[in-house]
């Protein structure tokens, strides 16, 4: 590896250099700081889901479709700016971009908490997503070089477990905060955590950047990703109201597909493409990215569907619904670290397949068991635990596979690419869930939720099957110095 991106290891400490000596840092310190940042980024997703009914009560003149943009705008902006954030982090400094993202996220959380109207809230959420987009790829890009290649699966699983823990705490914490005050507190809670993380980053994390990661990413492609995914989300959300053959629906679809095609073309021809083709030509990156996108569709759909089912069909309070949403992510936390060890030993293929099947089985339990009368232990808990175990297996495995053959200078770009596809899948999942429940839920809400769970189960299993394409082509003690020739296009 070139000297400017060297990593020296002595006595369990890591020193990263970039043509200059950097402070020696313990991997545990980097892991703790990046985990804190990942915690607030992922906490926000589940907390906002549980807050949707409370937000609807304050903005009762708006439909569920309009309220869905509180979630969708976050996912769209997050996905659009993850890739350039990773590139800028690799070029200008991962610590710098990481801290800028944290500061923006905290400031926008404050604006969300004081929002006086729905569209003000949506706008603040868009800028909050920009902050999160700066945080997530730089978190892993700072974390991964601090660990040797043979422990990379464990390092990623630590980050994934933190995300799962945030997801587990999110619903219950959000429900408690809403019961004590109102939905505004679910945004305000980010502020103290974010400020503490900023202080810890400044104190403990060294700067790291790559001299070869030059050039500004394609700005037209950034805009095209945001507008294209937004057009497709708008088509799905409004398709039932407009009609699926209405000119407006067809125009949104055409715009979305055309812009995606433009992005793909420019990635192949632009001097500094948004997506580095050398990354995507690697089989592990390609397969794990497709699997991530496919899994995100049902994952985000059933997260929202579960909240709406518990509060509207079973008439749970926000706090009780939050507590009921806690078992799946807690089960994922328990499984995430063993999943990382399984990945390090056997690769991602079988944990991914098992995870997808278990997520599908858990959702099938919801569809078969959940009736009009609440019965948490018999009708809800089994599906919650099974799906949570599946999530704990599949997400860390896909995340680990997405960077297994990527050299250090492109960690930020590779992790951003995988995360962007996850968010874009989430846009489609949320939009499809809202569209179907809005059109069918009025007539027979119980059947509508059952259909959402069944569809989500089928797509989750498909994501697991896609994981069979992941072939282990790196032995644990092999140094990672770039994309191996035999791994590219394998």
User: What is 234-262 written as a DSSP string?
Assistant: HHHHHHHHH-TTSHHHHHHHHHHHHHHHH
Contacts 24+ apart (CB under 8 A), 190-196: 190/40, 190/43, 190/44, 190/105, 190/106, 190/109, 191/106, 191/109, 191/110, 191/113, 193/36, 193/39, 193/40, 193/43, 194/40, 194/102, 194/103, 194/105, 194/106, 194/109, 195/106, 196/36
Q: Tell me the CB-side half-sphere exposure of residue 173, using CA atoms within 13 A.
A: 19
298 close to 356: Cβ distance less than 8 angstroms: no
Tell me if residue 8 falls in helix, strand or coil.
Answer: strand
Locate 342 and state its tokens: 């399984």
| pLDDT at residue 127 tops 90 | yes
- Whether residue 334 contacts residue 319, with contact meaning beta carbons closer than 8 Å, is answered with no
pLDDT above 60: residue 23? no
Predicted local distance difference test score (pLDDT) of residue 457 = 97
For residues 207-212, average pLDDT: 62
The answer, yes or no, to whether residue 295 has pLDDT greater than 90, is: yes
Identify which of 42-46, 129-133, 430-434, 457-461 has the greatest average pLDDT. Answer: 457-461
* pLDDT number for residue 459: 97
Among residues 75, 70, 63, which one has the least CA distance to residue 299? 75
Position 479 scores a pLDDT of 37
- Contact between 107 and 124 under an 8 Å Cβ cutoff? The reply is no
pLDDT, mean of residues 458-476:
81
Provide the CA 326 distance to its chain's centre, in angstroms.
18
Q: Determine the pLDDT at residue 251.
A: 94
Task: Work out the mean pLDDT of the chain and round it to a whole number.
Answer: 81
Q: Quick one: how far is CA 170 from the chain centroid? A: 15
Q: What pLDDT does residue 484 have?
A: 33
What whole-number percentage of the chain has pLDDT above 70? Answer: 82
- The first and second tokens of residue 461, run together, are 């299993």
Confidence (pLDDT) at 330: 82
User: What's the confidence (pLDDT) of residue 461?
Assistant: 97
What is the 8-class DSSP label of residue 89?
H
pLDDT at 150: 64
Contacts of 161 (CB under 8 A, 6+ apart): 332, 333, 336, 337, 396
- Give the mean pLDDT of 163-177: 77
CA-based nearest residue to 30, from 81, 80, 86, 95: 95
Give the model confidence (pLDDT) of 271-286 as tens digits.
778 776 666 677 888 8
**Lowest model confidence (mean pLDDT) among 6-15, 253-262, 281-290:** 6-15
CB-based contacts of 307: which residues, under 8 Å, 6+ apart? 49, 50, 52, 53, 171, 321, 325
| Cα separation, 378 vs 383, whole angstroms | 9
Between 201-215, 251-265, 357-371, 425-439, the lowest mean confidence (pLDDT) is in 201-215
> Can you tell me whether residue 15 is helix, strand or coil?
strand
Q: What is the pLDDT of residue 87?
A: 72
| Block residue for tokens 């979630």 | 71
Residue 151's pLDDT is what?
A: 67
179, 318 contact by CB (below 8 A): yes
Q: Which residue has the higher pLDDT, 78 or 123?
A: 123
Mean pLDDT of 159-185: 80
């Amino acid at each position: 590896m070139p000297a400017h991106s060297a990593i020296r290891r002595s006595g369990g400490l890591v020193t990263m250099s970039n043509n200059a000596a950097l402070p020696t840092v313990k991997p545990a310190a980097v892991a703790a700081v990046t985990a804190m940042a990942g915690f607030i980024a992922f906490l926000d997703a589940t907390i906002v889901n549980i807050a949707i009914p409370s937000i609807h009560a304050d903005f009762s003149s708006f439909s569920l479709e309009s309220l869905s943009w509180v979630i969708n705008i976050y996912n769209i902006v997050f996905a659009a700016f993850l890739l350039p954030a990773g590139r800028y982090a690799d070029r200008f400094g991962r610590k710098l971009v990481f801290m800028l993202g944290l500061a923006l996220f905290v400031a926008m959380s404050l604006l969300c908490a004081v929002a006086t109207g729905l569209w003000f809230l949506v706008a603040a959420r868009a800028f909050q997503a920009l902050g999160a987009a700066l945080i997530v790829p730089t978190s892993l890009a700072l974390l991964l070089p601090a660990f040797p290649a043979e422990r990379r699966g464990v390092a990623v699983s630590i980050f994934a477990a933190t995300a799962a823990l945030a997801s587990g705490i999110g619903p219950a914490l959000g429900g408690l905060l809403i019961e004590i005050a109102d939905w505004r507190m679910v945004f305000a809670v980010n502020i103290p955590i974010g400020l503490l993380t900023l202080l810890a980053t400044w104190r403990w994390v060294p700067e790291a950047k790559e001299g070869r990661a030059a050039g500004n990413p394609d700005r037209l492609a950034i805009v095209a990703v945001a507008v294209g995914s937004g057009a497709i989300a708008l088509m799905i959300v409004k398709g039932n109201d407009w009609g699926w053959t209405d000119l407006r629906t067809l125009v949104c679809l055409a715009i979305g597909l055309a812009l995606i095609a433009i992005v793909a073309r420019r990635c192949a021809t632009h001097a500094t493409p948004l997506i580095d083709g050398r990354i995507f030509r690697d089989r592990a990156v390609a397969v794990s990215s497709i699997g991530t996108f496919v899994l995100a569709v049902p994952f985000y759909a059933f997260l929202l569907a579960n909240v709406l089912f518990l509060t509207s069909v079973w008439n749970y309070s926000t706090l009780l619904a939050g507590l009921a949403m806690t078992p799946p992510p807690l089960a994922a936390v328990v499984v995430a670290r063993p999943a990382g060890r399984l990945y390090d030993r056997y690769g991602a293929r079988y944990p991914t397949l098992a995870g997808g099947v278990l997520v599908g089985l858990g959702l099938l339990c919801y569809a078969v068991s959940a009736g009009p009368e609440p019965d948490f232990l018999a009708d809800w808990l089994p599906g919650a635990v099974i799906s949570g175990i599946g999530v704990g297996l599949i997400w860390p495995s896909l995340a680990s596979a997405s960077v297994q053959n990527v050299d250090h200078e492109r960690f930020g770009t590779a992790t951003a690419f995988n995360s962007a596809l996850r968010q874009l899948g989430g846009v489609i999942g949320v939009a499809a869930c809202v569209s179907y429940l809005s059109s069918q839920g009025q007539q027979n809400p119980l059947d509508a939720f059952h259909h959402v769970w069944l569809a989500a189960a089928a797509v989750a299993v498909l994501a697991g099957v896609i994981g069979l394409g992941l072939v282990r082509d790196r032995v644990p003690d092999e140094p990672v110095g770039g994309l191996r020739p035999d791994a590219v296009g394998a």
